[in-house]
Structure formats: C-alpha cells, structure tokens
Amino acid sequence: MSSLLHKTCVCIVLLLVMPLCRAQSYGPAHADWTIPIAPFRIADNLYYVGSKDLASYLIVTAKGDILINSSLVSSPQLIRNSIQQLGFRLSDVKILLISHAHFDHDAGSTELLRLTGAKYMVMDADVPVVESGGAKDFAYPDDHYPPAKVDRILHDGDQVRLGDAVLIAHKTPGHTRGCTTWTMRAVSGGKLRDVVIVGSWNVNNGFRLVDRSGHPASYPGIAADFQQTFAVLKSLPCDIFLGAHGSYFNMLAKLDRAKAGAEDAVWIDRNGYRIAVAEHQRAFEAELKRQQSVTGASAP
Ligand SMILES: [Zn+2]
C-alpha cells in the first residue's frame, strides 16, 4: 500500500471510531460550586467553610483542626478565606479528610496539604483514585487533578481523633468505591447531638449497576455496595444532618431560617435525614430495576 493511501485509510478509520470514544468525564463544575458564602457555625466546634454548594467542614480542637473536603483545584483560597473570616487559621489544620474521591471534593488536596502540612486520611478503596489524581476512578478517569499522597489509609469504622474530637469513617460505597460518611458528636442547644455528613447516595448518569453482554457493571458489586450503603445510612443515629453538597440537606433554605432567628436549631433535622435516605434509596432501586429490565441484563 502506498504511504498516501495508507495515511488516508488511517484517517478514515479514526473518523469512524472517534465518535464512539467519548471522554469519561463528569463535565464542567456547577456555578454554585465556586460562589463564596459567609462561613457559619453549625454546632459547638463544627463550622461550614465551603462554597454555596460544595461543602467543606472545619472541626476545631485545642490540638489543631480537622478539615473535611478540599473540593476543586481552585477551592483552597475560598476555604482559607472562610476559615480566616471565622477567626481561625488554615495553618492549624492538622488532618485533611474527604467525602469521596471525585474532583469536586478532593482536587484541592495537594494544595491544601502544601499550605498546611496536614496528614491526609482517606478510605481504603478511594486511595488509588486520590493517588492517581482521578485516573483510576471507575466513572471519570479523564477528570485529572494533582495526585496527592495519602498518609493514613482508613478502613470502615476507623476513628480519626484530634484533641477532644472523634470522627468515625463509615464506608458507604457505590458512588465511589471508598465513599465515606462521617459521623461525630457535637453539642447544640445544650445537648450532645449525633452528626451525620453523608458522603453520597447518588447513582450518576452513566453508572452501570448490572452486567449486560459487552457492557459490564461499572465495577463488580456496585449494586450490592449501594444496597449496603443504604442499610448503613438507615442505621446511623442522626440529629444534625449534613452532606458533601449543601443541596443534600437543603442547606440554603435552612441557612435563611437560621438567619431569620432559628439559629443552630435549624441544623437538627432527624426527619429530613430519614426522608432523604428513603428518597435516594427509592431512586437507586428504580434505576436498578430499569437497568435490569433492559434485555440481556443479569442480576447483580
Ligand atoms: Zn461525586
């Protein structure tokens, strides 16, 4: 074959194949993820230092502070400003945690670790994703961000302690393999309250829950993982309902009520938590049923 003819054939093949090779990316960041809001106290030593929808939490202790979620690559500056507005210092952050290894919760980690020297603690099954800068994520391997070294690998039920703060890491997989729901106790209204920070309960577009011929599940066991996650979430005692996004727990509406005089009591929402878990379980089960009904699907 002549060189010209060979190149022409290669080009034609590429033109035919390229539309089939879609980028495996979540897509652009939502506007609400980068809009600053005034930081606020939720209870006792627990503060919100995130953006309008991307949640970051600061737990303040006499031995230093814990930060949950570094968020986007661009978020550390917003988080630093929020911490300073509350009268605290970013340099006091000794431990960095995340809700799960997606770029909207962990892409800022490298920069935050550089700024603080904090120890990075991540649930076992999310560690390869964090340390590969997103490349090993089952759904979005094209969402690259700076890889970060994990200092402590967490396992389901592990405690993270600093000063008088104790956080428990509950493995709630499905959305990512190492998705983590954090619980702790904090005083609000003069009483000790159970706090739940939901890692995620969402079946995103494109997640494959069942095996079909030629199209395996997003990862082996993903449907069973989601089922286990809902069992865990239903078992957790919850007074103060929080999550990885403000939208999980209706944060903006509650914030309006807090400013209107309801104050810290607005975050106590046992019923809202139960309803939200049940709604997301129903959504998962409906999606599982829909995928199972597609010809060629086998049970998870
Ligand atoms: Zn996510």
User: Residue 262's pLDDT is what?
Assistant: 79
CA of 256 to the centre of ligand 1 (A): 26
Greater pLDDT, 103 or 22: 103
pLDDT grade for 23, boundaries at 50, 70 and 90: low
pLDDT grade for 213, boundaries at 50, 70 and 90: confident
User: Residue 214's pLDDT is what?
Assistant: 87
Look up the pTM and report it: 0.91
DSSP class of residue 29 equals: P
Show the DSSP H helices in the chain as ranges.
3-17, 76-85, 103-106, 109-116, 127-131, 222-235, 251-257, 270-293
Greater pLDDT, 1 or 120: 120
CA of 12 to the centre of ligand 1 (A): 37
CA 47/CA 52 separation, integer angstroms? 14
User: Residue 20's pLDDT is what?
Assistant: 39
State mean pLDDT over 31-44: 95
Angle at 170 between CA 91 and CA 254, to 5 degrees: 70
CA of 14 to the centre of ligand 1 (A): 32
Name the phi and psi angles at 123, rounded to 5. Answer: -60, 135
Q: Is the pLDDT of residue 1 over 80?
A: no
CA of 90 to the centre of ligand 1 (A): 25
Tell me the CA end-to-end span of the chain in Å, nearest whole number.
49
Structure tokens, 117: 């020297």
Helix (H, G, I), strand (E, B) or coil at 293: helix
Q: Is the pLDDT of residue 38 over 70?
A: yes
CA of 49 to the centre of ligand 1 (A): 19
CA of 171 to the centre of ligand 1 (A): 14
CA of 26 to the centre of ligand 1 (A): 9
- Cα 224 to Cα 150, 214, 230: the distances in Å are 27, 21, 10
CA of 151 to the centre of ligand 1 (A): 22
User: Cα 166 vs. chain centroid, distance in angstroms?
Assistant: 20
pLDDT grade for 221, boundaries at 50, 70 and 90: very high
CA of 104 to the centre of ligand 1 (A): 7
User: Cα 41 vs. chain centroid, distance in angstroms?
Assistant: 21
What percent of the chain is predicted at pLDDT more than 70?
Answer: 90
CA 27/CA 35 separation, integer angstroms? 18
Q: Is the pLDDT of residue 190 over 50?
A: yes
